[in-house]
Amino acid sequence: MVTRHRVEWHGDEVWREVNTLLAVVEKDSADKVVKEAKRLFRANYGKYSWTGDSIKTIEVVKSKYTNGGYLIVAGGGEQYHMTFLELGADNLTAKPFLRPALNSHKKEFLDSIWDTLK
């Protein structure tokens, strides 16, 4: 005779808990990237008088999409030049601050995800 055991799986609950934990890791990592981007921006452009208003535009924004995570943005409005500073232009050599900041925290972010899921 075969003995049967009933196992209940609450996958939706587990998935919600995992997503909640990962959201904390994502936000924490995004905040670290913003801090590093601001440091790099100061290092590249700190001698200019307009840097104070520009640096305030480097921030973390929650994505408008469900499960979209966080975005790190810079510029907008009167600070439209931030794109040119990051990517360069015809007469302007790029001095990136966003991509290097992201790259410097990539491994730490992935390690944090792994540690959270252990």
Residue 24 lies in a domain: yes
Q: Domain limits at 44?
A: 13-117
Q: What is the pLDDT of residues 70-88, one digit of tens each?
A: 999 999 888 888 999 999 9
Residue 8 lies in a domain: no
As given in the structure block, the two tokens for residue 77 are: 């409005």
Q: What is the pLDDT of residues 87-109, one digit of tens each?
A: 999 998 999 999 999 999 999 99
As given in the structure block, the two tokens for residue 113 are: 């995800």
Indicate whether 68 pLDDT > 90.
Answer: no
Residue 6 lies in a domain: no
Residue 7 lies in a domain: no
Task: For residue 81, give the nearest of 70, 60, 97 by alpha carbon.
Answer: 97
* Count of structural domains within the chain: 1
Residue 90 lies in a domain: yes
- Whether the predicted model's global pTM rises above the 0.85 cut: no
pLDDT of residue 19: 83
